Amino acid sequence: MNAITQTAQTLPANGNNREHEEQQYLTFMLSGETYAIGIARIKEIIQFTQVTEVPRMPNFIRGVINLRGAVVPVIDLSARFGKPLTPIGRRNCIIIIEVVIEEETHSVGVMVDAVNAVLEIPAGEIEPAPTFGTHIHAEFIAGMGKINGKFVIILNIQQVLSMDDMAALAAMGSAPAAELA
């Protein structure tokens, strides 16, 4: 994981274009599809562990974990995309990601089926997000990376984990939005 930290420090940090400037992405599986996240946002990857459920949360918030004394919420990425909950298996992982919420950095865990590898995707091999035809919201997609002739969805993780968006979804699911912040 030290390599991830070193790479993150060398990349420019200028907001929305950050995802396209990175060339290294962590790829992972989710519901049989391959996705990618820029490594600058990734703090660490841990094996799936017991998650403490929090009452009255929407189904995509699986609960919280204790990560070296810090309470970290765990989001089921499959459920976040409107799919069924991720089944628990031996390859499940939680990717700890740093997101910026109101100018503060917070850690959020993202539950995935399995982690694949860190790959380099040259900027020339990244296409813009499609405006239709995907099963997730277009604003969740930073681009479509080409790896060995196949497309990989590169997520705009800041948008996927947007607390405003998740609070609105929670409110629709009858959970008080204040509990998410």
Tell me the per-residue pLDDT of 111-169, one tens digit each, with 9 for 90 and over.
999 999 999 988 888 888 776 655 677 788 888 998 888 889 999 988 888 766 555 44
Virtual CA dihedral for 98, 118, 115, 149, nearest 10 degrees?
120
Spell out a b/e string for 99-109, using b for 16 or more CB atoms within 10 Å of the CB, else e.
Answer: beeeeeeeebb
Closest CA to 121 of 30, 40, 26: 26
pLDDT greater than 50 at residue 40: yes
> How many Cα atoms sit within 13 Å of 47 on the Cβ side?
3
Band the pLDDT of 9: cuts 50, 70, 90: very low
**pLDDT of amino acid 64:** 92
Domain-wise residue ranges, the chain: 2-179
CA-to-CA dists, residue 64 to 34, 46, 70, 107, angstroms: 25, 14, 10, 11
How far is residue 158's CA from residue 161's CA, in Å, rounded to a whole number?
Answer: 5
pLDDT of residue 100: 80
Query: Any residues with CB less than 8 A from the CB of 25 and at least 6 apart, and which?
Result: 36, 37, 38, 39, 118, 119, 120, 121, 145, 152, 154
Question: How much of the chain exceeds pLDDT 70, in percent?
Answer: 74
181: pLDDT confidence band, cut at 50, 70 and 90?
A: very low
Instruction: Yes or no: say if 46 and 115 are a contact pair by the CB < 8 Å rule.
Output: no
Q: What is the pLDDT of residue 59?
A: 85
Q: What is the C-alpha to C-alpha distance for residues 77 and 123, in angstroms, rounded to an integer?
A: 25
Query: Is 91 in a helix, a strand, or coil?
Result: coil
pLDDT, residue 164, reads 64
> 3.40.1280.10, 2.40.50.180, 3.40.50.10490, 3.30.360.10: which CATH number matches 2-179?
2.40.50.180
The pLDDT assigned to 16 comes to 44
